[in-house]
Each structure stands twice: as C-alpha cells, then as structure tokens.
C-alpha cells in the first residue's frame, strides 16, 4: 500500500461513527481513500447516499487528524499502525461483522503464537470473582495460553496481572488510543503487558480519550482474537455479556463461572449457563474444549496430575488412560502397547468414550477428562 493511501485511511479512521459497509460503498464509488478526502460534503452526501450533516462531520474529523503525526507518535512508543488487509493486520478481524479499518498495536501481536482465551467480567469484582480469576487466568497462562481481555478495572485487570506475574504474554483490547491509559491506575500494568511480550491493541487514533461507546464496541475484537471466551462475573445487562453475545455470533465457545444465586454480579454468568453456555469450574474445562492438536501443544501435565483419581475405572480402563496420556493413539497402537487383542480393546475404548473420558477423531483416541 502506498504511503499516501495509508495516510488517507488513517485520517478516515478518525471519524468515530465509521461503519465498514458505509466505507466500502464510498471506496467502491471513489476508488481510494485519497479520492474520498478530495470530495466536498455535497458530493460525498449525494454519491455516498449519506446525510449532508454526516458528510460534513466525516470530512472535518478526517482532515483535522495529522496522519503523519499519528505514525510518528505510535513509533515513539514502539507501536505500529496496520491497515485492513495489510501485513500485520490480524486475519481474525477480517471475518467479523465490523472489521476495523485501522488498528494500532503497542507491543507484540502474533496471533499464531499460542492458543487464546478471553477472560472478561465486571468492574465491580467480588472476593469470589477475584479468587476465580486468579486461579483460572494463572492456570491458563501457566499452560501456555494467551489471556485476552480489556484492561478494565476488576476482572480484566486481575486476568492480565496473573499473566504478567508469570511473564507470559497477554493482549489488551482497549477503548482508548494506545497513547492513553484508562483507567489511569493501570499504567504500570499496561507497561508490564508490553514488557512480557504482550500487546495493547486499539482501533482508535493515538490520543483518543475513554468514551463510553468505545468499550462495548471493542468487545467484538476481544471475541475475535479468542478461541474460547470465559465470563467470570457480570450483571445480566453488562459489557461481559455483550462479549459473550459477540463470541457466540462469531462461532466461539462461551463458558461461564457459576456464582451465588443472590449475587447480582453472578447474574450474567448464571443466565449464560441456563441458556446453554459451558460451565467453567477450573482451567481444565477450558483446555478440554480446545481442539486436540492445540491441546497437545500446551503444558498441562501438572494441571492434570493434580486432578482427583477417578474411582470408577476398571484396571483395563486405567491402563488405557495411562497409555494414551496427553497424546493421541489408534486402536492398533494401543493394542501393541498394551498387548491386548483388538476386539477386547475396542470394547473398553467404547465404554470410555460413552462415559466421556475419551474422544475419537479420525480413528485416534485422546483424553477428554481424566
């Protein structure tokens, strides 16, 4: 992409009511961001089928932004600006309903780095919510999962902090520009996220202040960067449930941590569970929801070794579970390894599968729960 066009699109992104379908229509009519900005409000209104008031506000917002200064300021803090479709722009954003035109990244954003799990919830965190977040985020980060959240007070901050404590990467999708920190008390945490290989990510211009409408909107990006979303605490009408809704719309598994029925902050998770969300009691529930090929890349031995022994397994079933361990095995491989004939082995495998202890995909058996 030519520098002049990139600068034009950075300017266009300054319009805070920008919609992807609206921009695509304008680009289809005028051919480029540079040409859009050359139009007068009247032409833009007539050709783009938008109100004159909107076209005036759009051009004013775009032309007032110094795009070269945006690049300069971003570079000063070690950041980068990526345009939709440009190398470095996350592929995960391309498939959502409103892909951002521009993203600002401060730190390292490598979406191929490791599996990702969103942990979100209320700003009004309870002692129970804090304990649950510390346990879940800590165990998931230890396993090698990147924690994705929103850097807000409460659940988000605790989740990021647990990753940073372990010097593990975590990604924060923020509702301000990357040149601002909100809430202000999270400035040290934000720096810690960058220093431990994580990233601050925003679709808003560098110095954008915290505006109320930005926070629900950024939730779609939290969902897009995650393989699983976990809701820990949140009222029935809360930003956490917006994230859950957006995750479901994007085909992402949603889990919720159950809580006391008389606690307003557990109203959201309990409602999600009632409507069919997965129940999250510990990190293993999340890990078991990941595809086998991803689960096998994680460091989970200690996590699973701490789980209680299953009391109802027969000696043959226990041997099979031990033989499979954390990998995958075919019937023939297990037959050789255990010196069991295939018919007898198949009968025991079927029993373990219908009991929910094993899954079989493409003829290979792996553990679901131990």
Q: Which of 290, 323, 343 is the last residue of a domain?
A: 290
d(CA 35, CA 54): 18
- If asked whether residues 163 and 285 sit together in one domain, one would say yes
User: What CATH number did the domain enclosing 157 receive?
Assistant: 3.40.50.450
Q: What is the pLDDT of residue 306?
A: 55
The pLDDT score that the predictor gives to residue 308 is 47
Say whether both 125 and 213 belong to one domain: yes
Contacts 24+ apart (CB under 8 A), 108-111: 108/169, 108/197, 108/198, 108/199, 109/171, 109/199, 109/201, 111/225
How far CA 364 is from CA of 40, 95, 131, in Å, comes to 63, 31, 37
Q: Quick check: is 75 in a domain?
A: no
Same-domain check for residues 43 and 113:
no
Same domain, 123 and 167: yes
User: Do 274 and 317 lie in a common domain?
Assistant: no
Nearest 5°: phi and psi at 118?
Answer: -85, 135
Residue 303 lies in a domain: no
CATH classification at residue 26: 1.10.150
The whole-number pLDDT of residue 239 equals: 86
CB 273 within 8 A of CB 249: no
Q: Say what the pLDDT of residue 310 is.
A: 53
Q: Which residues pair with 202 in a beta bridge?
A: 104
* Last residue in a domain, options 65, 87, 117: 65
Q: Residue 102 domain-assigned?
A: no
Judge whether 318 lies within some domain.
yes
pLDDT for 156 equals: 97
Both 328 and 360 in a single domain? yes
State the residue range of the domain holding 47: 1-65
Of 11, 45, 65, the one marking the end of a domain is: 65
Q: Is the same domain home to 268 and 320?
A: no
Same domain, 177 and 233: yes
Cα separations in angstroms, 169 against 165, 174, 367:
10, 16, 27
Domain membership of residue 286 (yes or no) is yes
Evaluate whether residue 97 is within a structural domain: no
Tens-of-pLDDT digits for all 370 residues of the chain? Answer: 899 999 999 999 999 888 888 899 999 999 999 999 999 999 999 998 889 999 999 999 999 999 999 999 999 999 999 999 999 999 999 989 899 999 999 999 998 888 999 999 999 999 999 999 999 999 999 999 999 999 999 999 999 999 999 999 999 999 999 999 999 999 999 999 999 999 999 999 999 999 989 998 999 999 999 999 999 999 998 889 999 999 999 999 999 999 999 999 999 999 999 999 999 999 999 999 998 888 888 988 777 765 545 556 788 888 998 898 768 899 999 999 999 999 999 999 988 887 778 888 888 888 875 4
Same domain, yes or no: 188 and 273: yes
> Does residue 12 lie in a domain region?
yes
- Provide the domain count of the chain: 3
CATH code, domain carrying 350: 1.10.10.10
Q: Which residues of 141-151 are buried (b: 16+ CB within 10 A; e: fewer)?
A: bbbbbbbbbbb
Domain assignment present for residue 95? The answer is no
Shared domain check, 267 and 314: no
Helix extents (H) in the chain: 3-12, 20-30, 33-38, 41-48, 52-64, 67-76, 91-94, 127-143, 155-165, 187-195, 214-224, 239-249, 267-274, 283-287, 292-295, 301-305, 315-324, 331-338, 342-354
Backbone angles phi, psi at 311, to 5 degrees: -80, -15
Q: Is residue 150 domain-shared with residue 209, that is, in the same domain?
A: yes
Domain identity same for 271 and 348 = no
Determine the Cα–Cα distance for residues 112 and 96; give it in Å rounded to an integer. 18
Task: Note the pLDDT of residue 302.
Answer: 76
């Amino acid at each position: 992409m030519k520098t002049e066009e990139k600068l034009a699109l950075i300017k266009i992104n300054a319009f805070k009511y920008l919609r992807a379908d609206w921009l695509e229509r304008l680009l289809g009519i005028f051919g480029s961001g540079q040409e859009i900005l050359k139009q007068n409000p009247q032409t833009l209104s007539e050709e783009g089928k938008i109100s004159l008031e909107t076209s005036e506000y759009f051009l004013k917002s775009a032309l007032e932004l110094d795009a070269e200064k945006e690049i300069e300021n971003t570079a000063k803090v070690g950041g980068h600006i990526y345009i939709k479709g440009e190398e470095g722009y996350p592929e995960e954003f391309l498939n959502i309903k409103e892909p951002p035109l521009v993203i600002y990244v401060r730190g390292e954003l490598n979406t191929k780095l490791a599996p990702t799990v969103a942990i979100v919830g209320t700003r009004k965190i309870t002692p129970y919510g804090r304990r649950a977040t510390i346990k879940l985020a800590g165990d998931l980060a230890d396993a090698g999962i990147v924690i994705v959240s929103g850097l807000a007070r409460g659940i988000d901050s605790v989740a990021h902090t647990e990753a940073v404590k372990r010097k593990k990467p975590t990604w924060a999708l923020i509702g301000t520009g990357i040149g601002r920190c909100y809430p202000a008390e999270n400035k040290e945490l934000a720096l810690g996220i960058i220093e431990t290989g994580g990233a601050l990510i925003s679709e808003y211009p560098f110095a954008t202040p915290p505006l109320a409408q930005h926070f629900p909107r950024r939730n779609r990006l939290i969902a897009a960067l995650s393989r699983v979303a976990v809701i820990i605490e949140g009222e029935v009408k809360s930003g956490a449930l917006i994230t859950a809704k957006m995750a479901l719309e994007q085909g992402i598994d949603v889990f919720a941590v159950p809580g006391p029925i008389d606690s307003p902050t557990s109203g959201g998770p309990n409602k999600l569970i009632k409507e069919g969300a997965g129940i999250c009691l510990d990190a293993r529930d999340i890990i078991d929801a990941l595809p086998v090929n991803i689960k096998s890349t994680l460091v989970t031995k200690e996590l699973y070794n701490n789980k209680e022994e299953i009391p109802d397994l027969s000696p043959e079933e226990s041997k099979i579970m031990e033989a499979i361990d954390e990998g995958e095995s075919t019937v023939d491989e297990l037959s050789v390894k255990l010196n069991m004939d295939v018919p007898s082995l198949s009968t025991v495998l079927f029993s373990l599968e219908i009991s929910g202890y094993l899954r079989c995909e493409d003829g290979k058996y792996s553990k679901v729960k131990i």
